[in-house]
Amino acid sequence: MVALTVLPPGVDQAEWLASNTVAFFKHINLFSSALSEFCTPSTCPTACGPGDTVYVWTDDHGRKLKCSAPLYFDYAMSYIQELLTDEEVFPTKAGSVFPTGFVFLVQKVFLLFFRTLAHIYCSHYRETLALGLHPHLNTLFAHLTLFCQQHSLLDPEDTEPMQDLITALGQQA
């Protein structure tokens, strides 16, 4: 799986990050949609991760909003969708230049991806297992964490609560 994450020779790093960001967005959005009936404001009144981790959304004005998991992840996916469709941020025309700070935005997006999958593991793994989707979740999470490690997209303190799983999945790969 490591071969899937390495920058291929001759490929621009920003282009590689952009194309993988789009691919991960599609896969994570599809996967979380499959579990949407289980992640509701009543079953998940807060967006939580491992342990006592609670994810709080920060709006455009810098205000922190404690919200249900479905609302948090709707905010996250809407934010990412806006970035992905913004030609100034994710240019699609040949010869276009990626903006200054592009890697910072990609890091923010991958943190949101990581939190989405962490929530699924911590709050919906039983449902994932019952639906037979756990191999897909494990593969998606392992690919995401390897890609993030390869390209320094997540800080260790962000991944630390899930480190046991990251290590276990890495040993299986």
Q: State the binding site.
A: 39, 44, 119, 124
Residue 133: Cβ within 10 Å count:
18
Binding-site members for Zn(2+) are 39, 44, 119, 124
HSE-CB of 72 using CA atoms within 13 angstroms: 27
Q: In the block, which residue shows the tokens 């290590």?
A: 167
What is the SS3 string spanning 46-81? CEECCCCCEECEECCCCCEECCCHHHHHHHHHHHHH
